[in-house]
Amino acid sequence: MTLQQGSPTRAEKYPSVRYIAPFVIFLVFLGASGKHLLSAYWEAPLWVLVVGIVCVVAWPRELSVKPGYLWSSIGVGAAVFLLWIAPDALIPGYRNSPLFSNSLTGKLHSSIPTEDLRSVWILSWRTARAVLIVPIVEELFWRAWLMRWLVNTEFEQVRLGTYTALSFWGVALLFASEHGPYWEVGLLTGIIYNLWMIRTRSLADCIVMHSVTNALLSAYVIATAQWQYWQ
C-alpha cells in the first residue's frame, strides 16, 4: 500500500512568486504614491507595514536569515554609501550634466513634497522604508531570484551566487536602470552587490549590506537636506 502525496501548494508550483511578489507589491505602492490617493501621513506607515508583512509571508523558507559575514557586510555597505555621495560631494553640479539629467533617466527631484520635509513622522517612516523594506524586496528579486533565473529558469536548482556573464551583467544593468539620474553609481552598486552575493552566497548578508548603505544614505539626506537622493 502506498501513500499518495498531497497536491503541491501554489508556492511549490510557482516558486518564483515568493521572490517576485514583494517587489511587485512595492512597485504598486510606488505607482500609487504618485497619485496621492492617501495623505503622506497615512501612506508612509501603510507602505512599510503592508510590504513588510508581504516580505515575512513570502520569505523563502529554504533561505537562511542569519548573515555569515556580518561585519564585512556592514563594511561593504558603508563603502557603497561613500560611493553614492562622492561624485556630488567632490564635483559640484556633477549630477546636473545632461549625461545624468535628461528625458531618458529623468531629472533630479525628491518624491517627498516640500511641506512633508518638516514632519518627523513622515521622515521616520520613509527611513524605515529605505532601511528595512527596500533591501529585502530588492535583494530577493535581483540577487536571490533574477540572478539565478537568468542561469536556469528552474532557478531553485541554481546555487545562490552562481556566476554567468548574462546573469551578472544583466542584473547589474537592470539594477542601474531603476536609479534614474544616479544610474552610474547604481551600476557600480549593482556590480558590488552582485560580487558580494558571489562571495558570500548569502541573501542575509546582501540584505545587511544594502540596509547599511540605505541607513547611512538616509541619515546623510536628512542631516544635509540633500533630498534629491530620495527619488
List, for residues 153-183, the tens digit of each pLDDT value: 999 999 999 999 999 999 999 999 999 999 9
Within a domain: 5:
no
The domain tally of the chain equals 1
pLDDT over 90 percentage in the chain:
68
Spatial contact of 50 and 125, defined as CB atoms under 8 Å apart: no
Q: Phi and psi at residue 192, in whole multiples of 5°?
A: -65, -45
Identify how many contiguous H helices and E strands the chain contains and give both numbers.
10, 0
Within a domain: 224:
yes
How far apart, in whole angstroms, are the C-alpha atoms of residue 150 and residue 226?
36
Within a domain: 2:
no
Within a domain: 216:
yes
- Residue 44 C-alpha cell reads as 508612509
Within a domain: 73:
yes
Cell match 544635509: residue? 224
- H or E stretch at 225: none
**Res. 12: pLDDT tops 70:** no
Question: Would you place residue 72 in the very low, low, confident or very high pLDDT band (cuts 50, 70, 90)?
Answer: very high
Within a domain: 3:
no
Within a domain: 15:
yes
pLDDT of 173 reads 97
Provide the domain limits for residue 213: 10-229
Within a domain: 172:
yes
